[in-house]
């Protein structure tokens, strides 16, 4: 693996600069009333959901998730455990009815598996999103802003911005940053514009690099967004964001804050994030069709008290 590098022209941020950006983005967010929708989800109106159905023209469905890994690796030292619980060996060839059954156990927030972060996932300065006290997260379960907030799913217009395609490379190297200029240039190159209520997906090529070169310790070296790119999401009123990486770069661009994008998106703005998706099945279809928007359906598991969920977003073109 090559050593992490700074992205071209992407500056590091001081803690003071990050705090100023944090306050700015939080000031642009209308906090929900008790049991109300987060500001970002309010952008995903019934009218916009209905309009997103018009994106379906080919009748094709494509998964945006990677297979759940059950083998330990440098980016997944605690992989999912898949155990067959039935049938018993004696039942395999016995007459009569028997059932094959199994059980999964996993670390939802690993650096390998596709997952969605609930708004209770990020604690910053003693608070969750909307000023909810961090004490609502207990050892047995989270008490507010859990993944069950999305029990009815996320359905809307998905937009994929392919940054490696823009730069003419197969992937961005770990340590590189996606900037606001990258996002707007990708919009222009792909002739698409991100708008209110959209589910924004940003390809950095993490999955392709992992497939071709093998896994690495993504906790210390990975590609993500530069924190200043979150201004564009606020301006465009994006509802949800997902990437084939972690969304945050490592090493971080901000002094003493390892996950600035998670803090800004989840805790300041109320935007659900999806980490470690895969777009290698979708990108050739979008390129061939000449369009980069689609209907997207996301159905997290109903896990009361959970800080996230494994997820399998489906693009419908």
pLDDT at 2: 38
Whether the per-residue pLDDT at 263 is higher than 70: the answer is yes
Task: Let me know: does 272 contact 119? Beta carbons within 8 Å.
Answer: yes
Average pLDDT over residues 11-22: 93
Q: Residue 203's closest CA among 315, 95, 58?
A: 315
pLDDT at 29: 82
Whether the per-residue pLDDT at 32 is higher than 90: the answer is no
Q: Is the four-CA dihedral 130, 132, 134, 138 of positive or negative sign?
A: negative
Per-residue CA distances from 35 to 39, 104, 148, 187 (Å): 12, 31, 12, 35
Task: Let me know: does 248 contact 36? Beta carbons within 8 Å.
Answer: no
Task: Let me know: does 240 contact 272? Beta carbons within 8 Å.
Answer: yes
Per-residue CA distances from 87 to 81, 82, 179, 262, 277 (Å): 18, 15, 52, 43, 33
CA 244 to chain centre: 7
Q: How buried is 223 (Cβ within 10 angstroms: 0-12 exposed, 13-18 middle, 19+ buried)? A: buried
Residues 269-291 pLDDT 10s: 999 999 999 999 999 999 999 99
Going by pLDDT thresholds of 50, 70 and 90, the confidence category of residue 38 is confident
77 vs 12, which has greater pLDDT? Answer: 77
Least confident of 90-94, 102-106, 171-175: 90-94
Euclidean distance between CA atoms 248 and 177, whole angstroms: 9
Whether the per-residue pLDDT at 60 is higher than 50: the answer is yes
Average pLDDT over residues 210-217: 97
Largest alpha-carbon pair distance within the chain?
A: 71
Residues 131-151 pLDDT 10s: 999 999 999 999 999 999 999
Q: Whole-number mean pLDDT of the chain? A: 94
Whether the per-residue pLDDT at 8 is higher than 60: the answer is no
Euclidean distance between CA atoms 163 and 185, whole angstroms: 9
Can you list the positions of beta strands (E) in the chain?
Answer: 61-63, 81-86, 101-105, 115-117, 154-162, 177-178, 199-203, 224-225, 240-243, 272-275, 293-298, 308-310, 314-316
Euclidean distance between CA atoms 225 and 69, whole angstroms: 25
Going by pLDDT thresholds of 50, 70 and 90, the confidence category of residue 33 is low
The three-state (H, E, C) secondary structure of 49-116, written as one string? HHHHHHHCCCCCEEECCCCCCCCCECCECCCCEEEEEECCHHHCCCCCCCCCEEEEECCCCCCCCCEE
Residue 266, token pair as written in the block? 């989840």
Question: 66: Cβ–Cβ under 8 A, 6 or more apart, which residues?
Answer: 112, 113, 114, 207, 276, 277, 278
Q: Is 309 helix (H, G, I), strand (E, B) or coil?
A: strand
């Amino acid at each position: 693996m090559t050593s992490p590098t700074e992205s071209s022209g992407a500056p590091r941020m001081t803690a003071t600069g990050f705090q100023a950006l944090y306050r700015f983005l939080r000031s642009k967010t209308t906090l929900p009333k008790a049991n109300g929708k987060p500001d970002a989800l309010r952008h995903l109106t019934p009218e916009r959901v209905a309009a997103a159905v018009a994106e379906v023209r080919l009748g094709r469905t494509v998964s945006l998730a990677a297979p759940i890994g059950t083998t330990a690796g440098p980016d997944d030292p605690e992989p999912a455990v898949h155990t067959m619980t039935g049938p018993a060996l004696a039942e395999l060839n016995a007459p009569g009815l028997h059932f094959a059954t199994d059980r999964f156990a996993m670390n939802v927030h690993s650096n390998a598996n596709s997952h969605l972060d609930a708004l209770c996932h990020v604690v910053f300065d003693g608070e969750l999103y909307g000023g909810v006290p961090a004490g609502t997260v207990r050892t047995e379960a989270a008490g507010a802003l859990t993944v069950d907030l999305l029990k009815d799913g996320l359905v809307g217009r998905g937009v994929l911005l392919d940054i490696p395609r823009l730069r003419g490379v197969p992937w961005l190297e770990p340590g590189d940053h996606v900037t606001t200029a990258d996002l707007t240039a990708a919009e222009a190159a792909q002739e698409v514009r991100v708008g209110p209520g959209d589910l924004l997906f940003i390809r950095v090529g993490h999955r392709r690099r992992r497939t071709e070169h093998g896994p690495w310790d993504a906790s210390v070296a990975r590609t993500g967004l530069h924190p200043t790119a979150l201004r564009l999401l606020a301006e465009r009123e994006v509802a949800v964001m997902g990437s084939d990486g972690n969304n945050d770069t490592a090493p971080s661009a901000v002094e003493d804050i390892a996950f600035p994008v998670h803090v800004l998106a989840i805790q300041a703005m109320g935007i659900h994030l999806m980490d470690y998706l895969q777009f290698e099945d979708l990108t050739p279809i979008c390129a061939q069709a000449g369009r980069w928007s689609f209907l997207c359906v996301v159905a997290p598991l109903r896990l009361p008290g959970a800080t996230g969920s494994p997820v399998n977003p489906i693009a419908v073109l």
